[in-house]
Amino acid sequence: MLLIRALRAAASTLRPLPPSFLPFPLLRPAALLCAPRPPAAARAFTRNIWLLSGDAAGTHRPGILRPQRVSPAGLSCGCGGLHTEGDKAFVNFLSDEINVEKKIQNNKSLPKMSGGWAIEVHGAQAKLLRKIAGETITVTFNVNNSIPPTYDEPQEQQKDHEQEAELTSTPNFVVEVTKANPQQTLVFDCHYPEDELARGGEDEESDIFLIEEVSFQPSEESDWKDTNFTLNTQTLDCALYDHFMDFLADRGVDNTFAHELIELSTALEHEEYIKFLENLQGFMKCQ
């Protein structure tokens, strides 16, 4: 009897082990080992690279991996050119300049040359052609850089001029005289001296143009040879120079021709200047 009571007292003193002391994992029931795990919580950031650059349907939309293109400041049309406030002011200035130049344009069309000269114009270059008794006379000139530079006058002299002096084109020109036989061309390089132009032709007998060089060139060759001898008139005998001038005058290249050439060249230069301004305006406006 005493033994039974002792065993009961000992059994009452025993406490069950906590779950953390249970054997792991071999002592777990099989049902726990085979039970499915609960679903993990959804991640806040699970988009792949393809989704970052578009949506699931494949349509384009801005994403963090697709930087936005920003147009440069000032683009105002689809020409691809840059248009700034300075360009707009430039276009407005050109419009006013073109209107002013057209108003002061003396010749709406190129003036004619007396003496039966045919005129061919190719941009800034012009050619005059005339045939006399089997000879062909050609005069070629270019209006580029043909206006002499203007120097600032003292204020006292400026007061005397009520109107601004008109710009005059005085280009260098080349006279070619070709004969049928022999097949050679006599070439004269001519220019307008500034002192003669400044005097305004007060002396009717003085020549308003001068011969600078004389040479022979083959008629059939377009490119002249530098190996051909060229005569410089600065060291030429005065009598021989006068014969050269008479030779040109007999073929229509005289003071009258030189004056008309200045009028023609001035009109052509002004016409090309207006065309340049219009082309520049169209370039600035991408037209």
Which pLDDT does position 44 carry in this prediction? Answer: 45
Residue 283 CA to residue 77 CA, distance in Å, equals: 13
Residue-level pLDDT, tens digit, the chain, 287 residues: 555 555 565 555 555 555 444 444 444 444 444 445 554 444 443 444 434 444 545 455 444 444 444 445 555 566 767 888 999 999 999 999 999 999 999 888 999 999 999 999 999 999 999 999 889 999 999 999 999 887 665 555 555 544 556 789 999 999 999 987 777 899 999 999 987 555 555 556 789 999 999 999 887 666 667 788 999 999 999 999 999 999 999 999 999 999 999 999 999 999 999 999 999 999 998 86
Which pLDDT does position 33 carry in this prediction? Answer: 44
Domains of the chain and any CATH numbers: 115-148+164-282 (3.10.280.10)
Which pLDDT does position 191 carry in this prediction? Answer: 97
Integer Rg of the chain from CA:
48
Which pLDDT does position 82 carry in this prediction? Answer: 82
Which pLDDT does position 90 carry in this prediction? Answer: 95
Residues constituting the chain: 287
Phi-psi region of 116 (alpha: psi -120 to 50; beta: other; left: phi over 0): left
